[in-house]
Amino acid sequence: MKLLQILLATLVTGIGSVWIAGMLLRLGVRGRPQDAGHGPQHLLSLAAGALLATAFMHLLPEAFESGLEPSVLFAVLLGGLVLFFLLDKAELWHHGHEHHHGPAPDAHAHAAAHGHDHPGHGRLHAHPVDSAGHAHDRAHAHAPRVGGWAVLAGDSVHCFGDGVLIASAFMADTRLGLLAALSVLAHEVPHHVGDLVVMRQTSPDARAALIKVSLAGTVTALGGVLGWWLVERLHGWLPYFLVLASSSFAYVALADLIPQLQRRLAARQTVLQVLWLLAGIVLVTGVSRLSHGDEHGHGHDEGVAPPVSAARPHTH
């Protein structure tokens, strides 16, 4: 039953985020240089709030209730942040292709879709513009253009990792698994908007681009199966998996999403950014309360497995 839940959640997360991104592109939510990509920025704010709330209000508290020494779990948290930083430097975590797309015809639209205008940086940078309206960027004039297969490879690695983390949360508690899946879905949508823009540069067929990115999304399910297999056999390590998942969520939010939001905006847009960030937190908290209420109402009758906090006795 738990494996089925993990498979359904990872498939919905991996493929559903791509389809939602495709729908948003059809609606024109992609972001343009002249409007600073406010539509995608609202999605980034929502995703950042959801990831932070899941990490600090749910995954970490659940891990710390396991009875392990807080100093040990904090060490795992710190190690996880360093690990994801190193993976990011090696372009193996989240979307490394964001920082290396070249001067393709729609490169500025792709950058705006991800919330930044300068590859490799979260903030907007002004570039000199000549009389013809073309920006001078010697640093990127000879930058290699990343092909569609490189985008798919980066997506696949990231989706696989997401699947492992979602499975770890499900193995602790179904409620945590749902929250983790919801948070991953929220932060994948704005990234897949950019993925589809890049794929459409290499292929004029929009449907083919959607199918290719969706296939990369299915790798999330493979990661989910591996995560289920690992935690099933290493159940005592579950708190460590939860801390690792929270470090991943915190790293993506703080190192990837929020820096893309740190730009000078009008007061109204800044207020909207904050409201969307709070909306992500409220969304995760609301889903948590609803699912937690359902567990209290039906958990004893249906034989629901206890969370990790109840799996081992507490010492006082």
Residue 299 covered by a domain: no
Residue 262 covered by a domain: yes
Asked if 276 contacts 46 with a C-beta cutoff of 8 angstroms, the reply is yes
Residue 156 tokens, joined = 């696949």
Task: Output the CA torsion sign for 91, 96, 99, 100.
Answer: positive
Please give the residue that has the higher pLDDT: either 9 or 294: 9
Residue 133 covered by a domain: no
Q: Which pLDDT value is given to residue 150?
A: 73
Residue 128 covered by a domain: no
Confidence of residue 92 (pLDDT cuts 50, 70, 90): low
Residue 136 covered by a domain: no
Rounded CA-CA distance 232/127 in Å is 53
Q: Which pLDDT value is given to residue 157?
A: 85
Q: Which pTM was predicted? A: 0.72
Q: Residue 188 half-sphere exposure, CB side, CA atoms within 13 Å? A: 33
Number of domains observed in the structure of the chain: 1
pLDDT at 101 over 80: no
Angstrom distances, CA of residue 4 to CA of 1, 9, 167, 224: 5, 9, 11, 10
Asked if 186 contacts 15 with a C-beta cutoff of 8 angstroms, the reply is no
Q: Which pLDDT value is given to residue 168?
A: 95
User: Lowest mean pLDDT: which of 48-62, 88-102, 149-163?
Assistant: 88-102
Residue 8: which domain range? Answer: 2-122+144-292
Residue 301 covered by a domain: no
Rounded CA-CA distance 50/46 in Å is 6
Confidence of residue 287 (pLDDT cuts 50, 70, 90): confident
Residue 198 covered by a domain: yes
Asked if 217 contacts 15 with a C-beta cutoff of 8 angstroms, the reply is yes
Asked if 198 contacts 101 with a C-beta cutoff of 8 angstroms, the reply is yes
Residue 310 covered by a domain: no
pLDDT digits (tens, 9 = 90+) for 42-63: 888 999 999 999 999 999 999 9
The SS3 assignment for 126 reads coil
Rounded CA-CA distance 17/23 in Å is 10
Angle CA 254–274–253, to nearest 5: 15
Helix residue ranges per DSSP H, the chain: 2-26, 38-54, 60-64, 70-89, 107-113, 138-141, 148-172, 174-202, 206-217, 219-233, 238-251, 258-261, 267-302
pLDDT at 173 over 60: yes
pLDDT digits (tens, 9 = 90+) for 213-263: 999 999 999 999 999 999 999 989 999 999 999 999 999 999 888 888 887
Please give the residue that has the higher pLDDT: either 169 or 316: 169
